[in-house]
């Protein structure tokens, strides 16, 4: 995939952004109800190249329901204005019965009473053996007090990458912890390279993810275990202080505050970036599969902590359906066929099923194997230090508060506590509970 084709990897998890704060309460407002349709409407997003949607549509159209169940119809929903598309359709009862979508979308619509819980699907997966095929930790975040809000199907991991030739050139070892990251970064910077590649320009959330990842890597996080804001804890302050040290030493380029993903892609492609946090599939993204760009092992924090930031993409069901049993039967079927998407090399993400990770199409990529082995067992969502996903995470990821926080830190404009205090105040003003 080229960079333009992989830009979606953030959009799938960016919290419904400005729309989240002003999300309307769903209510019927005319239109034809999906419950009067003859088929299960499955709405899917452009997760990769057009070949992905072609393959997903074929899987949908190949569904042969049991007697009494409805067939399924496939529809592509573009990321542009996707939240408004879903909101309007659900409010007018013309929305889907089943869909993919943004990572926290199901939790927002659950608050509005639109989501059909997936407990029956989970029971069916237990019966057919696929429940035991889930990788550890991927299902639990979707369990709410009322039931399973959605079912995960892919993981978007934030990974540390390095360019071997640049580190060799400056005589630096691959960073394994914070001190060695600073040391290697200084050496790269002295040689005219970028010691740590990141950015927080227009449409670029990698800088946001980097700061959250460093908090997690130090045993911190935005929330308490029971979901209350706790940005000013000592571990977060320590993490932000370290990032500010990278900034003050020029390891993070002064221009990073305005770098877009296109800028970052160019820095990796042109052999300017020596180390940094980015999305899966970086070598393919920038067109350099020579083996010079490699996934590094997760860093060890100053207190011995190890953690990685992951976003869990999921499939959700809606209450407005022509047949809830038919929605459930289709979702069970679809989850059993998604391995085809990895077999066709269409996915730039980690699967949630062990059997897919054993496919030769997956294991042939040494970076994927390392990321799965070393990152997935320690991965945490942005709900950490808790584990349960919530609607408020949509306000965190991609909202103005975190954007401003990241730009403040990368710009070296203030001390860690002041930046975190402003960040917490900004989040507090828009969260729903």
**Could you tell me where the DSSP H helices lie in 249-338?**
261-269, 282-286, 324-335
Residue 119 has pLDDT above 60, yes or no: yes
Query: Binning pLDDT at 50, 70 and 90, where does residue 394 land?
Result: confident
Q: Which CATH number fits domain 34-156+311-372: 1.10.1740.10, 3.50.50.60, 3.40.50.1100, 3.40.190.10?
A: 3.40.190.10
**Predicted local confidence at residue 388, as pLDDT:** 86
Per-residue pLDDT of 221-250, as tens digits, reads 999 998 899 999 999 999 999 999 999 999
- What's the average model confidence in pLDDT over 128-148? 96
pLDDT of residue 398: 66
Does the pLDDT at position 73 exceed 60? Answer: yes
Q: CA angle, corner 59, sides to 57 and 64, nearest 5?
A: 120
- CATH superfamily name and code, 157-310+386-428: Periplasmic binding protein-like II (3.40.190.10)
233 closest CA partner among 405, 381, 423, 89: 423
Q: What is the pLDDT of residues 183-203, one digit of tens each?
A: 999 999 999 999 999 999 999
Whether the CB-CB separation of 273 and 194 falls below 8 Å is answered with yes
Cα(396)–Cα(225) distance, integer angstroms? 16
What is the pTM assigned to this prediction? Answer: 0.91
pLDDT at 331 over 50: yes
Q: pLDDT, tens digit, for every residue of 271-326?
A: 999 999 999 999 999 999 999 999 999 999 999 999 999 999 999 999 999 999 99
Q: What is the largest CA-CA distance in the chain?
A: 69
Chain-wide mean pLDDT for the chain?
91
Q: Is residue 381 scored above 90 in pLDDT?
A: yes
Q: CA neighbours within 13 Å on the CB side: how many for 212?
A: 30
Q: What percent of the chain has pLDDT over 70?
A: 91
Over residues 90-110, the mean pLDDT reads 95
Angle between helices 400-410 and 206-217 (to 10 degrees): 80
- Confirm if 159 and 308 have CB atoms less than 8 A apart: yes
Per-domain residue ranges of the chain: 34-156+311-372, 157-310+386-428
Contact (CB, 8 A) for 251 and 185: yes
Return the pLDDT at 362: 97
Q: Which residues contact 108 (CB under 8 A, 6 or more apart)?
A: 16, 20, 23, 391, 394
- CATH fold match for the domains 34-156+311-372 and 157-310+386-428: yes
């Amino acid at each position: 995939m080229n960079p333009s084709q992989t830009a979606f990897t953030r959009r799938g998890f960016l919290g419904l952004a400005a729309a989240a704060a002003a999300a309307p309460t769903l209510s019927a407002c005319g239109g034809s109800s999906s419950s009067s349709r003859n088929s299960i409407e499955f709405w899917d997003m452009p997760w990769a190249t057009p070949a992905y949607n072609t393959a997903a549509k074929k899987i949908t159209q190949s569904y042969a329901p049991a007697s009494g169940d409805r067939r399924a119809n496939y529809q592509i929903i573009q990321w542009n204005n996707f939240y408004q598309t879903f909101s309007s359709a659900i409010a007018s009862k013309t929305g889907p019965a089943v869909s993919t979508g943004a990572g926290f979308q199901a939790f927002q619509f659950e608050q509005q009473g639109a989501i059909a819980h997936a407990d029956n699907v989970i029971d069916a997966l237990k019966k057919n053996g696929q429940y035991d095929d889930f990788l550890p930790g991927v299902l639990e975040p979707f369990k709410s007090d009322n039931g399973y809000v959605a079912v995960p199907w892919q993981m978007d991991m934030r990974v540390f990458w390095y360019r071997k030739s640049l580190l060799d050139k400056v005589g630096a070892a691959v960073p394994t912890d914070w001190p060695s990251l600073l040391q290697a970064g200084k050496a790269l910077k002295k040689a005219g390279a970028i010691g740590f590649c990141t950015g927080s320009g227009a449409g670029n959330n990698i800088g946001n993810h980097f700061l959250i990842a460093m908090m997690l890597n130090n045993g911190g996080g935005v929330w308490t275990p029971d979901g209350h804001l706790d940005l000013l804890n000592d571990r977060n302050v320590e993490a932000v202080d370290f990032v500010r040290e990278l900034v003050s030493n020029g390891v993070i380029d002064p221009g990073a505050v305005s770098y877009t993903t296109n800028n970052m892609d160019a820095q990796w492609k042109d052999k300017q970036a020596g180390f940094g946090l980015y999305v899966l599939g970086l070598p393919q993204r920038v067109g350099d599969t020579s083996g010079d760009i490699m996934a590094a092992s997760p860093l060890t924090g100053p207190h011995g902590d190890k953690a990685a930031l992951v976003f869990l993409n999921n499939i959700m069901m809606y209450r407005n359906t022509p047949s809830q049993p038919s929605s459930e039967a289709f979702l069970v079927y679809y989850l059993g066929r998604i391995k085809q998407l990895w077999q066709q090399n269409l996915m730039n993400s980690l699967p949630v099923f062990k059997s897919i990770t054993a496919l030769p199409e997956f294991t042939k990529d040494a970076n994927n194997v390392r990321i799965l082995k070393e990152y997935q067992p320690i991965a945490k969502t942005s709900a950490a230090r808790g584990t349960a996903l919530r609607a408020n995470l949509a306000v965190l990821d991609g909202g103005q508060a975190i954007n401003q926080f990241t730009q403040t830190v990368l710009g070296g404009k203030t001390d860690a506590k002041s930046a975190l205090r402003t960040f917490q105040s900004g989040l507090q003003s828009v969260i729903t509970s």
